[in-house]
């Protein structure tokens, strides 16, 4: 019997994502001037206020207030009407030095013997149902909001958009797990109060709200959706149909949003950041952590493994789990689940054994293989850490004394299919 599966995404202006982006901007600035920095920083955002907290071991000093403000302005919170903007919000820093008790388990005389920054289990996932090996419902949810943000910045076809928004896509699958059609799309977008009531009466207020919601419905269906569909491959385009159920700003107007509408915290969107509910998640957030924290680095490494296994034809769908003990160099386990989609006479245990031989999962080896000591993390902090484009860009960072540095940074290295040939050779394909 066919079944439904749903994933959601949130925009860069969602309060939790604002917090993630500030935390990762701090990571990037620390790594730009001291690649050996050890950082774990959390951010809280609320009406007119940013609170930074965490632990740092670094040889550089940063203007954390400026970094936070620049990040907020870049997102689009630039107006006092939002009750949260980069130029006027308060920024309080409670960042302090990293605990020596933690650091002694990570730093070693030989970098190759670097221990894991924490215990825990991390998961990576890949599926052949999309070109970027991501679950389709999540991929579409991200695309909707990326395009909505583009419309907001263009400020041409839709001129009332504000930074905060959410999306959700429900897909119907056949019994053999093939997407058949899109069942429902949800889009909630913050907006200006672009229709004012004629008076303070409840009737006029309701009329103004209904007019705004009707216009938003029309623009989402007639402007946003066609732009998203036009950029999709043909076999995904056909999943869009006239019977899709749309829920657009289903509670009515959405003027009060962002950190003024809800408090935002680093690390509260871990499913949006990964696979939209497919596969599994070990519970550890990514943003605000330097790559010595295996919550982040091992999650990227397992995605890299899963994607290369699927691309090599080992299976149509792969889940990879790895686990660590704090301060211990080698992982305590590596687990593979191919969901019965491996076309060869191989057990998941046999695949896991081969994977442990192909991929060195010691923390320092992961850092080297995926070049994780680069200031590459701001770009990960909205619209998902997985399924993104591997590319090299130029980034410039400035310190309080006016010193600046420009670096070429390779992004999303864990999305590279650079181990496909090694996997095929190891499995004699």
Annotated binding site for Mg(2+): 16
- The 3-state DSSP class for residue 138 equals helix
**Binding site residues, as ranges?**
14, 16, 42, 55, 98, 164-166, 253-254, 262, 268-269, 285, 289, 293
8 A C-beta contact, residue 278 and residue 138: yes
% helix, strand, coil for the chain, step of 5: 35, 25, 40
Identify the burial level of 185 via C-beta atoms within 10 angstroms of its C-beta, where 0-12 means exposed, 13-18 middle and 19 or more buried: buried
**Binding site residues for L-methionine, as ranges?**
55, 98, 262, 293
- The 3-state DSSP class for residue 246 equals strand
Strand order in the sheet with 179-191: 3-10, 161-173, 179-191, 245-248
**Binding site residues for K(+), as ranges?**
42
User: Which of 4, 273, 13, 6 shows the shortest CA–CA distance to 166?
Assistant: 13
Q: Kindly give, in sequence order, each residue whose CB lies less than 8 Å from that of residue 98, ignoring residues fewer than 6 positions away.
A: 38, 40, 55, 56, 57
Query: How many whole angstroms separate alpha carbon 385 and alpha carbon 300?
Result: 8
User: Which of 258, 255, 151, 127 shows the shortest CA–CA distance to 196?
Assistant: 255
The torsion of the CA quartet 12, 18, 19, 25, rounded to 10 degrees, works out to: 80
Instruction: Count Cβ atoms below 10 Å from residue 252 Cβ, excluding itself.
Output: 11
**Binding site residues for ATP, as ranges?**
14, 164-166, 253-254, 262, 268-269, 285, 289
258 conformational bin, left if phi > 0, alpha if psi -120 to 50, beta if neither = left
User: Which of 222, 212, 211 shows the shortest CA–CA distance to 189?
Assistant: 212
Q: How many CA atoms lie within 13 A of 337 on its CB side?
A: 10
8 A C-beta contact, residue 369 and residue 336: no
8 A C-beta contact, residue 79 and residue 85: yes
Query: How many whole angstroms separate alpha carbon 182 and alpha carbon 11?
Result: 21
- The 3-state DSSP class for residue 74 equals helix
Query: How many whole angstroms separate alpha carbon 225 and alpha carbon 244?
Result: 12
């Amino acid at each position: 019997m066919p079944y439904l599966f749903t994933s959601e995404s949130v925009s860069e202006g969602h309060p939790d994502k604002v917090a993630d982006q500030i935390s990762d901007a701090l990571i990037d600035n620390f790594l730009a001037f001291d690649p050996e920095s050890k950082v774990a920083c959390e951010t809280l955002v609320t009406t007119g206020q940013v609170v930074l907290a965490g632990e740092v071991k670094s040889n550089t000093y940063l203007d954390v207030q400026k970094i936070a403000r620049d990040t907020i302005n870049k997102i689009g919170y630039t107006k006092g009407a939002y009750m949260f903007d980069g130029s006027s919000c308060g920024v309080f820093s409670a960042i302090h030095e990293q605990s020596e008790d933690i650091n002694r388990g990570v730093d070693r005389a030989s970098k190759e013997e670097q221990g894991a920054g924490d215990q825990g289990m991390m998961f990576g996932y890949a599926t052949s149902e999309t070109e970027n090996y991501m679950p389709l419902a999540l991929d579409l949810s991200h695309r909707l909001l990326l395009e909505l943000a583009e419309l907001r910045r263009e400020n041409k076809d839709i001129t009332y958009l504000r930074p905060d928004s959410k999306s959700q896509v429900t897909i119907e699958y056949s019994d053999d797990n093939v997407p058949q059609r899109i069942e429902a799309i949800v889009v909630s977008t913050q907006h200006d109060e672009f229709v004012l009531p004629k008076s303070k009466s409840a009737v006029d207020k309701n009329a103004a709200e209904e007019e705004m919601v009707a216009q938003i419905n029309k623009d989402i269906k007639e402007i946003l959706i066609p732009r998203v569909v036009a950029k999709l491959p043909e076999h995904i385009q056909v999943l869009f149909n006239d019977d899709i159920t749309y829920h657009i700003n289903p509670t009515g107007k959405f003027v009060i949003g962002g950190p003024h509408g809800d408090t935002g915290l680093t690390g509260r969107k871990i499913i949006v950041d990964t696979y939209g509910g497919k596969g599994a998640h070990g519970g550890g957030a990514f943003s605000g952590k330097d790559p010595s924290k295996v919550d982040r680095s091992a999650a990227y490494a397992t995605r890299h493994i899963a994607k290369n296994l699927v691309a090599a034809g080992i299976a149509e769908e792969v889940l990879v789990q790895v686990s660590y003990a704090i301060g211990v160099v080698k992982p305590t386990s590596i687990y593979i689940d191919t969901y019965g989609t491996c076309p060869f006479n191989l057990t998941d245990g046999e695949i896991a054994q081969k994977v442990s031989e192909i991929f060195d999962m010691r923390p320092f080896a992961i850092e080297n293989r995926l070049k994780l000591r680069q200031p590459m993390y701001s770009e990960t902090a909205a619209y998902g850490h997985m399924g993104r484009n591997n590319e090299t860009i130029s980034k410039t960072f400035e310190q309080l004394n006016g010193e600046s540095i420009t670096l070429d940074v390779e992004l999303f290295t864990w999305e590279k299919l650079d181990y496909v040939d090694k996997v095929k050779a190891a499995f004699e394909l």
